[in-house]
């Protein structure tokens, strides 16, 4: 079958008519290949059949490489449309071809069986390259395609190859591959796609090269950027440059790159001027990593990089990907001391003019994106901030936020002011406008605007972070302003329906529990809530109803530890203000009612038990511990599993079957709640500098809650509290020895 595919699709040396099904639909050879690959994926996912795939790896990978070859049709399309070449060859492509499907399967088996796949791939590539030499000597014009496919396969999983070669686990002539195949192919003119793949493949294996060999390949890569080269070679050279920067930074060998950086920069800028869309994105991504290689070089060429990036940002302002890549470049420049001043002189006036421009005179979204870029510059500039940032950019973003009705501009404006408060509070407090208002006054105005009941609730999605940063940084300087902010938050909470908005608002009170618990209780008890009872009851009720839904690793730590402090305070002081509050406990179900239809729900609304606030807090803390324990166990088992691919872990099939049945028996809600702390859940927090600086971010929540609950179990009130626990909550406590 593979031979037929190579003859009819890859090399087009023979025509074949596609079979047709009973409905007249063309089945196509590719569909059969997809089905086979999908079948292997299914075998990989089934514990009973993993060993079957493992045994077949040598032949399987040999055939995968055959299916990775470039087809004649792809050569035609990519030659005519370089943008499509970038799209199809991108790691995150949405295209789906036999070549991509074969790559996916190779990555899947290499992840599953690292050592075995490395050995099988090394053997398969060696065999293919030997066979290619024979076909080449017999006059075949298509020999280069198998070379290209072998480079693609080896380069795609380069780590397992280099690691196993280094450890002596596999027999593979790495030096012969680098010099006898890649370097030799670079001197061949048989196909620009082979040249491009050779440039890319070389950049993947710098750890296995001498300095002299790296220099040879770098020179070839710089030549590949030249405008006389075919587009596919230039594009592959850009990918190769990214690879060299990444690899040589990791190995702390960037000095090898330095002599080539001027030519690289010129080549990238020329390429960006000639292409748009996918090619431009690739160039911008590569330019960003180039700026990080040598601060001295980047400082000397800031006068090229910065104007170019500003021009691209303005030209493609409606493209969010380009805007994000431009922002990344400005971020890198802001962190290089020698670039800060010149970059700000060029960039800040441009951003300020956009913020001052009438809405109808600029493209939609440009203002909010400009504010986002300003935020990046402020966050990554070492204080004290320049006069440009304080006296021109700060008032511009404040005024822009106050006078817009665009949600994105308001949100980004709030986040930008949070950056100013976090990085340079004293500087903005000292700055005054002509009317005598200082920077803090402007921040307060923006907070009021974001919390205004008349504005969309989504403007308040991040206001909690701004207020919490303001309180932690400004503290006593806020005076009565703090009361005004908290009143506005209470008003907004009465309107908010979205979880993200409500969480943002509640987090302000959670932060205050950590820093000003007694004053917070006094304040909330002095104000009436929507029902006429003290606002404390309203806040606690809303918080208790949503705590189990909160997301974000940092936010969950802040709120969970705040609940610990509230519970301990309530017990220690016997505070009637907390003791007297009653909230929803658990839902009551009528077992004789059967399935709850909408009409039944309308006639018989949900019924809940009512329990004391402090008991509810206790139950929520047990739930948070359960989530943290499950997430940590999942991560630990995943880590152990990934390190265990060489063991015989797949042999005990009965044990694995039991595990599968256990998972199948779980409720979807249980599985989803267990993912509350998964990797995606952590992702965004790592980007927030204020969260990273907070000591709470470093707290091990499972250890903290375990310690707290164990100590709580020693207190006299524990018996009363434990009467309210359900069976699953008791099991969690038993797991920690209570």
How far CA 40 is from CA of 106, 214, 403, in Å, comes to 11, 38, 59
Q: Report, as an integer, the average pLDDT of 207-212.
A: 94
Number of helices followed by number of strands (H, E) in the chain: 42, 2
How would residue 679 be classed by pLDDT, with cut points 50, 70 and 90?
very low
pLDDT in tens, 272-310: 988 878 899 999 999 999 999 999 999 999 999 999 999
What is the model's pLDDT at position 21?
57
Tell me whether residue 73 is in a domain. Answer: yes
Least confident span in 437-451, 525-539, 552-566, 630-644? 630-644
Residue carrying structure tokens 């390259």: 129
Tell me whether residue 318 is in a domain. Answer: no
Count up the domains in the chain and report the number.
2
What is the model's pLDDT at position 666?
40
Quote the tokens at residue 271: 């390429």
Quote the tokens at residue 509: 């009170």
3-state DSSP assignment of residue 144: helix
Q: Report, as an integer, the average pLDDT of 547-554.
A: 94
* pLDDT surpassing 70 at residue 728: yes
- Taking the chain, what is the end-to-end CA distance rounded to the nearest angstrom? 63
What is the model's pLDDT at position 677?
44
Supply the DSSP string of 115-178, one letter for each residue. Answer: HHHHHHHHHHHHHHHHHHHHHHHTT-S-HHHHHHHHHHHHHHTHHHHHHHHHTT-S---HHHII
Handedness of CA 34, 39, 43, 49 (dihedral sign): negative
Q: What is the C-alpha to C-alpha distance for residues 708 and 561, in angstroms, rounded to an integer? A: 10
Q: What is the C-alpha to C-alpha distance for residues 71 and 334, in angstroms, rounded to an integer? A: 45
* pLDDT surpassing 80 at residue 390: yes
Q: Which residue has the higher pLDDT, 167 or 267?
A: 267
Asked if 462 and 372 touch (Cβ cutoff 8 Å), the reply is no
CA atoms within 13 A on the CB side of 29: 16
Tell me whether residue 66 is in a domain. Answer: yes
Asked if 306 and 347 touch (Cβ cutoff 8 Å), the reply is yes
Q: Which residue has the higher pLDDT, 98 or 668?
A: 98
Q: Which residue has the higher pLDDT, 722 or 605?
A: 722
* pLDDT surpassing 70 at residue 566: yes
How would residue 515 be classed by pLDDT, with cut points 50, 70 and 90?
very high
Stated as kind and residue range, the H or E segment containing 585 is strand 582-588
pLDDT in tens, 583-641: 988 877 765 555 656 565 556 667 888 999 999 999 999 999 999 999 888 877 666 65
Backbone angles phi, psi at 608, to 5 degrees: -130, 150
* pLDDT surpassing 50 at residue 270: yes
* pLDDT surpassing 90 at residue 338: yes
What is the model's pLDDT at position 587?
78
Long-range CB contacts (< 8 A, 24+ apart) of 275-281? 275/82, 275/83, 275/231, 276/316, 277/83, 278/83, 278/86, 278/87, 278/90, 279/82, 279/83, 279/86, 279/231, 279/235, 280/312, 280/316, 280/322, 281/321, 281/322, 281/325
How far CA 24 is from CA of 27, 34, 168, 265, in Å, comes to 9, 20, 55, 54
Interstrand relation of 582-588 and 607-612 (parallel, antiparallel or unpaired): antiparallel
Nearest CA to 271 out of 53, 263, 132 is that of 263
Q: Which residue has the higher pLDDT, 25 or 699?
A: 699
Average pLDDT, the chain: 88
Q: Report, as an integer, the average pLDDT of 474-491.
A: 90
What is the model's pLDDT at position 17?
59
CB atoms within 10 A of CB 111: 14
Tell me whether residue 122 is in a domain. Answer: yes
The alpha carbon torsion through 473, 477, 481, 486 (nearest 10 deg) reads 40
CA angle 563, 569, 574 (to 5 degrees): 130
Quote the tokens at residue 346: 């060029």
Quote the tokens at residue 84: 């499509």
Q: Report, as an integer, the average pLDDT of 708-724.
A: 93
Q: Which residues of 487-501 are buried (b: 16+ CB within 10 A; e: fewer)?
A: ebbbebbeebeeebb
Q: Which residue has the higher pLDDT, 23 or 239?
A: 239
What is the model's pLDDT at position 486?
95
Q: What is the C-alpha to C-alpha distance for residues 142 and 601, in angstroms, rounded to an integer? A: 70
The domain boundary residue, chosen from 172, 196, 223 = 172
Evaluate the omega torsion of the peptide bond into residue 111 and state whether it is cis, within 30 degrees of 0: no
Handedness of CA 199, 200, 202, 203 (dihedral sign): positive
Tell me whether residue 74 is in a domain. Answer: yes
How would residue 6 be classed by pLDDT, with cut points 50, 70 and 90?
low
Q: Report, as an integer, the average pLDDT of 250-269.
A: 96
How would residue 681 be classed by pLDDT, with cut points 50, 70 and 90?
very low
Q: What is the C-alpha to C-alpha distance for residues 559 and 546, in angstroms, rounded to an integer? A: 11
Nearest CA to 558 out of 615, 492, 622, 509 is that of 509
How far CA 679 is from CA of 634, 676, 684, 686, 694, in Å, comes to 11, 9, 10, 11, 20
Tell me whether residue 723 is in a domain. Answer: yes
3-state DSSP assignment of residue 23: coil
Asked if 633 and 706 touch (Cβ cutoff 8 Å), the reply is no
* pLDDT surpassing 60 at residue 684: no
pLDDT in tens, 427-467: 999 999 999 999 999 999 999 999 998 888 888 899 999 99
Tell me whether residue 669 is in a domain. Answer: yes
How far CA 247 is from CA of 5, 252, 367, in Å, comes to 36, 9, 37
Q: What is the C-alpha to C-alpha distance for residues 371 and 401, in angstroms, rounded to an integer? A: 9
Q: What is the C-alpha to C-alpha distance for residues 618 and 578, in angstroms, rounded to an integer? A: 13
Domain span at residue 73?
1-172
Full 3-state SS string of 251-286: CCCHHHCHHHHHHHHHHHHHHHHHCCHHHHHHHHHH
Nearest CA to 339 out of 367, 372, 375, 380 is that of 380
Q: What is the C-alpha to C-alpha distance for residues 508 and 504, in angstroms, rounded to an integer? A: 7
pLDDT in tens, 13-35: 555 555 555 665 655 667 778 88
Per DSSP, 169 falls in state -
What is the model's pLDDT at position 601?
57
Q: What is the C-alpha to C-alpha distance for residues 476 and 596, in angstroms, rounded to an integer? A: 53
What is the model's pLDDT at position 513?
97
Q: What is the C-alpha to C-alpha distance for residues 2 and 66, in angstroms, rounded to an integer? A: 7
pLDDT in tens, 569-583: 999 999 999 999 999
How would residue 171 be classed by pLDDT, with cut points 50, 70 and 90?
confident
Least confident span in 78-92, 212-226, 665-679, 681-695? 665-679
pLDDT in tens, 131-170: 999 988 888 888 999 999 999 999 999 999 999 998 888 9
Tell me whether residue 478 is in a domain. Answer: no
Q: What is the C-alpha to C-alpha distance for residues 450 and 453, in angstroms, rounded to an integer? A: 9
The alpha carbon torsion through 90, 92, 98, 99 (nearest 10 deg) reads 30
């Amino acid at each position: 079958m593979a031979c037929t595919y190579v003859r009819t699709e890859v090399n087009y040396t023979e025509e074949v008519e596609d079979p047709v099904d009973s409905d007249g639909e063309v089945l196509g050879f590719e569909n059969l290949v997809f089905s086979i690959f999908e079948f292997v994926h299914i075998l990989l996912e089934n514990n009973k059949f993993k060993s079957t795939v493992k045994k077949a790896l040598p032949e399987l990978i040999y055939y995968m490489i055959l299916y990775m070859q470039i087809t004649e049709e792809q050569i035609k399309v990519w030659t005519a449309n370089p943008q499509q070449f970038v799209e199809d060859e991108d790691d995150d492509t949405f295209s789906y071809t036999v070549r991509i499907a074969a790559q996916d399967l190779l990555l899947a088996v290499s992840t599953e069986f690292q050592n075995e796949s490395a050995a099988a791939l090394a053997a398969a590539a060696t065999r293919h390259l030997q066979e290619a030499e024979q076909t080449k000597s017999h006059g075949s014009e298509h020999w280069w395609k198998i070379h290209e496919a072998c480079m693609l396969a080896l380069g795609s999983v380069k780590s397992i190859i280099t690691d196993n070669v280094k450890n002596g686990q596999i027999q593979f002539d790495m030096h012969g591959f680098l010099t006898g195949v890649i370097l030799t192919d670079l001197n061949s003119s048989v196909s620009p796609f082979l040249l491009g793949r050779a440039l890319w493949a070389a950049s993947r294996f710098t750890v296995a090269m001498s300095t002299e060999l790296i220099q040879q390949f770098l020179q070839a890569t710089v030549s590949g950027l030249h405008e006389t080269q075919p587009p596919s070679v230039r594009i592959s050279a850009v990918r190769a440059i990214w690879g060299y920067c990444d690899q040589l930074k990791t190995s702390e060998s960037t000095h090898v790159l330095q002599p080539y950086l001027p030519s690289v920069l010129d080549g990238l800028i020329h390429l960006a001027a000639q292409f748009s869309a996918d090619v431009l994105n690739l160039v911008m991504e590569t330019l960003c990593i180039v700026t990080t290689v040598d601060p001295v070089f980047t400082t000397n060429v800031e006068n090229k990089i910065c104007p170019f990036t500003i021009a691209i940002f303005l030209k493609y302002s409606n493209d969010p990907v380009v805007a994000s890549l431009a922002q990344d470049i400005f971020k890198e420049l802001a962190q290089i001391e020698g670039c800060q001043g010149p970059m700000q002189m060029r960039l800040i006036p441009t951003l300020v003019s956009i913020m001052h421009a009438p809405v109808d005179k600029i493209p939609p979204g440009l203002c909010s994106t400009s504010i986002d870029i300003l935020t990046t510059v402020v966050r990554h500039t070492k204080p004290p901030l320049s006069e440009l940032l304080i006296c021109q950019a700060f008032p511009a973003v404040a005024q822009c936020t106050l006078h817009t009705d665009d949600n994105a501009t308001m949100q980004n404006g709030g986040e930008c002011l949070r950056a100013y408060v976090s990085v340079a509070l004293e500087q903005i407090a000292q700055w005054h406008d002509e009317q005598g208002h200082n920077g803090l006054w402007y921040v307060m105005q923006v907070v009021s605007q974001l919390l205004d009941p008349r504005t969309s609730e989504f403007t308040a999605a991040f206001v909690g972070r701004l207020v919490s940063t303001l309180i932690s940084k400004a503290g006593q300087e806020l005076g009565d302003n703090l009361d005004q902010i908290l009143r506005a938050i209470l008003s907004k909470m009465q309107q908010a329906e979205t979880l993200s908005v409500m969480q943002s608002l509640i987090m302000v009170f959670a932060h205050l529990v950590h820093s000003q618990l007694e004053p917070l209780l006094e304040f909330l008890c002095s104000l009436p809530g929507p029902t006429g009872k003290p606002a404390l009851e309203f806040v606690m009720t809303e918080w208790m109803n949503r705590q189990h839904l909160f997301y974000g690793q940092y936010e969950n730590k802040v709120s969970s530890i705040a609940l610990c402090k509230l519970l301990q305070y309530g017990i220690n002081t016997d505070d009637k203000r907390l003791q007297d509050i009653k909230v929803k406990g658990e839902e009551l179900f009528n077992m004789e009612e059967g399935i709850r239809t909408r009409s039944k729900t309308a006639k018989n609304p949900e019924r809940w038990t009512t329990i004391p606030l402090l008991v509810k807090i206790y139950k929520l803390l047990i739930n948070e511990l359960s989530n943290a324990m499950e997430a940590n166990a999942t991560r630990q088992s995943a880590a152990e599993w990934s390190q265990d691919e060489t063991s015989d872990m797949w042999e005990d099939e009965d044990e694995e079957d039991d595990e599968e049945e256990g998972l199948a028996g779980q409720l979807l809600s249980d599985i989803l709640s267990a993912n509350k702390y998964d990797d995606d859940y952590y992702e965004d927090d790592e980007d927030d500098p204020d969260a990273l600086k907070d000591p709470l971010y470093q707290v091990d929540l499972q250890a903290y809650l375990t310690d707290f609950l164990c100590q709580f179990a020693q207190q006299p009130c524990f018996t009363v509290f434990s009467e309210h626990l359900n069976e699953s909550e008791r099991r969690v406590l038993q797991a920690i020895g209570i």
